Amino acid sequence: MNQQELALAQRKAAIEQKLTQTGEKTRLKEYVRESLQKCGYVDDLKQHCWNIIRSRPLEATTVKGLVDEIRPHAKLTLPDAVKDDLLNRIKQFIEKGQN
């Protein structure tokens, strides 16, 4: 790991610690959970899971296999608006901490 990567890792760790200590991490998680529920993402993902489960024998379905298969779909269908808003909230948190 070069010095630039080390500095970035240390900065990320400091931000993570501050998010946790202030309770902002919990608030952000709740915001994301509510936003994904409101926009229908959670229901769509559940339906996708059921479609996969129904398409194969139950004995051939494992939790790990299901997660591995669902993860790419989940990442691709994650609403940009939720990602963008979360990123903006984190940026605002960081900027407030520097003032």
Task: Give me the number of domains the chain comprises.
Answer: 1
Mean pLDDT, residues 21-25: 96
Q: What is the pLDDT of residue 99?
A: 56
Range of the domain at 70: 55-99
Lowest mean pLDDT among 9-18, 21-30, 45-54, 90-99: 90-99
- Domain contains 67: yes
- Domain contains 77: yes
- Domain contains 98: yes
What's the predicted TM-score (pTM) here? 0.80
Q: What is the pLDDT of residue 60?
A: 81
- Domain contains 46: no
Average pLDDT, the chain: 93
- Domain contains 13: no
- Domain contains 65: yes
Q: What percent of the chain has pLDDT over 90?
A: 86
- Domain contains 64: yes
pLDDT digits (tens, 9 = 90+) for 25-69: 999 999 999 999 999 999 999 999 999 989 988 888 899 999 999
- Domain contains 48: no
Angle subtended at Cα 56 by Cα 55 and Cα 57, rounded to the nearest 5 degrees: 140
Q: What is the pLDDT of residue 88?
A: 97
